[in-house]
Chains A and B, each alone.
Chain A
Amino acid sequence: MTLRLGLPSKGRLMAQCVDWFAERGIGIERRADEREYAGTVTGVDGITPVFLAAGEIPRELAAGRIDFGVTGEDMVRERLAFWDRDTVPAARLGFGRADLVVAVPKAWIDVTTADDLDAAAAAFRATHGHRLRIATKYHRLIRAWIRAHEIADVQLVDSQGATEGTVAQGTAEAIADITTSGATLDANHLRPLDEEPVLRSEAVLFRARRGTASDDAGAAFLRRLGLSDASAANRG
């Protein structure tokens, strides 16, 4: 039985993944001419690569249809309600770094903390008759953050792209999104709160708890990558 390894199917994340495995003597090639998202692995036996949209890898891990998968931690934490039950992080890969932050207009000189956001939301709702809107696609993570900080009088509005533009367009008062350099926020007259990011994300090699490959095969793969098999002890 081969071990199925889920990998991002395109873009910078895929290229960095290929580099990361290459540094460990494992060659990964995607057969670009085929309609099927398949490929070949050299340098190690018994691995079948499965190329997937980065956002689909969490679901495939949870279902155990792949044994390992590389994707952003933000994807797994956002899309899997029980991410720590369904997956084990085997290694943080050191690329794809991004922070999930809550950002407000730079003009909000009175708002730098979550406490300020809460107080501003109270006054905003009293004045405008609706909750202060935060645009995001990270609903689960931001809802948990709102709850953890006990912020009232806000609501999330869905934004699947160009989230930084929603405030200028008048569809939200604040946003929550992934940022790397902060340049896009800055260009849109936004600034992150002076709080710990909601999540410091990077690309992570996850192991599926429900994977079909044997523990031995998984452990051998991790050893081949120079990783300890700490995850095996946690596999339920």
Chain B
Amino acid sequence: MTPLEAETARLAALFRAAGADPVAPSVLQPAGTLLDLYGEDIRARAYTTRDPARGELMLRPDFTVPVIEHHLATGRAAGRYTYSGPVFRMQEAPEPRPSEFPQAGIECFGTGAAAAARTEAEVIALIAGALDMPGLVLAMGDTGLLTAAVAGLSTSDRRKAALARHVWRPGRFRRLLDRYGRQAPPAAHAPLLARMESTPPEALIAAAGPTIGRRTTAEIAARAAWLRADCAATPIPAAERAALDALLGLAAPAPAAVAALRRLAAALPGLGPATDRLAARLDALAAAGLDPAEIRFEAAFGRTTLEYYDGVVFGAFRPGDTGPPVASGGRYDALCRALGAAPGTWGVGAVIRPADLLRLRGAVP
């Protein structure tokens, strides 16, 4: 056995001991599912191939999606699974990074908030124990805080939905928040808004050109009418926007972060319950033997890379390393829903990169 095989086997045994059934998803995955989930980003990250019978296929860029599909195919409400093997990521950057590397991981599914909270703490403690290495820092974020803060803003549901959709995209989120903080509509909409003063959108559409393609006159008119109606919306108060900025910039040892979140909840009432859940999670981690003061909380952790994670997200790093975390994971209910899980289904999982772990320990795999 090579050192890498031995390390991977050690991790797999730990995950099995935590009650996870071994699964072995295929290296070749249908491209359609991944494209629908991740859009063009995945094409820049995953190797694509095709065969005459199955069409476009991808070399698995991660295990999570096929493991969720495996779980859903069992028809059971709860389950936990472990896997290990190579994943493949195209590296479109001049500096060399591996495009094929092993992962070992665990994915847990179930229903009910209490079981979800227990499992989150269990998985984080399991990963911390499996890494078993002083000098690694555990960073934790919580996308649920961001979505709860957005849901609690003083604005229309449609504006909240637009902001929530772009929690993953910092630049666009910023532009939207700035826009919703102003009364005046974007300058680019001024000509359309002026024309709609005297002409209904349907007539403007008919005059502009034939409606070709699948987007219908009704859809175009509905968005145009919304742009007009949205001009009357009250701007999001400056205090709420400032608190949201403070939330996005929050990075502190976890206990201090909880205290800061309690203060921010004065301006962002939606934060209260989500902060309670974070505090309870830290208590559970302390009970499992982790020191919350050693956990670094970053509200925006994983914000640009972990779309579909909608609760706790975490990663383990060696301070100063610029590469990907040696372990990462989180809560991904939205991903389960997108793949057809019943409402109320939660998913919690994590992966370790055993080759990186060996490298950090000073052993070359």
B41: A residues at CB distance < 8 A: 147
Stretch at the interface among A59-67, A126-134, A201-209, A211-219: A126-134
B224 with A143: CB separation less than 8 A: no
A189 with B210: CB separation less than 8 A: yes
A120 with B213: CB separation less than 8 A: no
A152 with B227: CB separation less than 8 A: no
Partner of B208, one of A109, A116, A118, A154: A109
**How far apart are B81's CB and chain A's nearest CB, in angstroms?**
29
State A143–B172 Cα separation when bound (angstroms).
Answer: 16
Interface size class of B (residues with CB under 8 A): 35 or more
**How far apart are B205's CB and chain A's nearest CB, in angstroms?**
5
B168: A residues at CB distance < 8 A: 152
Chain A 41-76 near chain B by CB (<8 Å), digits 1 or 0 = 000000000000000000000000000000000000
**How far apart are A90's CB and chain B's nearest CB, in angstroms?**
22
Q: Does A8 contact B (CB under 8 A)?
A: no
Q: Does A21 contact B (CB under 8 A)?
A: no
B206: A residues at CB distance < 8 A: 107
A105 with B209: CB separation less than 8 A: yes
B210: A residues at CB distance < 8 A: 105, 107, 189
State A139–B90 Cα separation when bound (angstroms).
Answer: 15
Known: A131-B36, A131-B39, A150-B166. A119 touches B223 (CB 8 A): yes
State A168–B210 Cα separation when bound (angstroms).
Answer: 10
Q: Does B96 contact A (CB under 8 A)?
A: no
Known: A81-B92, A113-B188, A119-B162. A168 touches B212 (CB 8 A): yes
State A122–B39 Cα separation when bound (angstroms).
Answer: 13
A131: B residues at CB distance < 8 A: 36, 39
Q: How many A-B residue pairs have CB under 8 A?
A: 108
A168: B residues at CB distance < 8 A: 212-213
**How far apart are A111's CB and chain B's nearest CB, in angstroms?**
8
Q: Does A196 contact B (CB under 8 A)?
A: no
State A128–B220 Cα separation when bound (angstroms).
Answer: 14
Q: Does B211 contact A (CB under 8 A)?
A: yes
Known: A150-B169, A154-B39, A156-B43. A105 touches B223 (CB 8 A): no
Chain B 29-42 near chain A by CB (<8 Å), digits 1 or 0 = 00000011001110
B223 with A123: CB separation less than 8 A: yes
A119: B residues at CB distance < 8 A: 162, 223
B43 with A107: CB separation less than 8 A: no
A107 with B166: CB separation less than 8 A: no
Q: Does B363 contact A (CB under 8 A)?
A: no
State A116–B40 Cα separation when bound (angstroms).
Answer: 18
B215 with A124: CB separation less than 8 A: yes
Known: A124-B219, A150-B166. A143 touches B213 (CB 8 A): no
Q: Does A146 contact B (CB under 8 A)?
A: yes
**How far apart are B179's CB and chain A's nearest CB, in angstroms?**
8
Chain B 3-18 near chain A by CB (<8 Å), digits 1 or 0 = 0000000000000000
State A93–B204 Cα separation when bound (angstroms).
Answer: 42
Chain A 151-184 near chain B by CB (<8 Å), digits 1 or 0 = 0111110000000000110101110000000000
A120: B residues at CB distance < 8 A: 215, 223
Known: A107-B205, A131-B39. A152 touches B213 (CB 8 A): no
Q: Does B52 contact A (CB under 8 A)?
A: no
The closest CB in chain B to the CB of A131 belongs to B39
B192: A residues at CB distance < 8 A: 109-110, 112
**How far apart are B267's CB and chain A's nearest CB, in angstroms?**
26
State A132–B208 Cα separation when bound (angstroms).
Answer: 21
The closest CB in chain B to the CB of A166 belongs to B213
State A153–B165 Cα separation when bound (angstroms).
Answer: 10
State A107–B162 Cα separation when bound (angstroms).
Answer: 24
**How far apart are B308's CB and chain A's nearest CB, in angstroms?**
12
Q: Does A37 contact B (CB under 8 A)?
A: no
The closest CB in chain A to the CB of B42 belongs to A155
Partner of A107, one of B39, B169, B171, B217: B217
B204: A residues at CB distance < 8 A: 109
A127: B residues at CB distance < 8 A: 219
A194 with B223: CB separation less than 8 A: no
The closest CB in chain B to the CB of A120 belongs to B223
Q: Which of B75-117 contact A (CB under 8 A)?
A: 92, 94
State A139–B192 Cα separation when bound (angstroms).
Answer: 31
A105 with B39: CB separation less than 8 A: no
Partner of A153, one of B39, B170, B213: B39
A132: B residues at CB distance < 8 A: 215
Known: A150-B171, A152-B166, A154-B40. A107 touches B211 (CB 8 A): yes
Q: Which of B116-172 contact A (CB under 8 A)?
A: 162, 165-166, 168-172
A173: B residues at CB distance < 8 A: 213-215
B94 with A82: CB separation less than 8 A: yes
State A149–B192 Cα separation when bound (angstroms).
Answer: 22
Partner of A139, one of B43, B92, B188, B213: B43
Partner of B209, one of A113, A154, A189, A194: A189
Q: Which of B185-215 contact A (CB under 8 A)?
A: 186, 188-189, 192, 201, 204-206, 208-215
**How far apart are A37's CB and chain B's nearest CB, in angstroms?**
31
State A170–B205 Cα separation when bound (angstroms).
Answer: 19
Partner of B94, one of A85, A108, A149, A174: A85
B224: A residues at CB distance < 8 A: 109-110
Q: Can you list 8 A-B pairs with a CB-CB distance of less than 8 A?
A: A81-B92, A85-B94, A107-B208, A107-B209, A107-B210, A110-B192, A128-B214, A173-B214
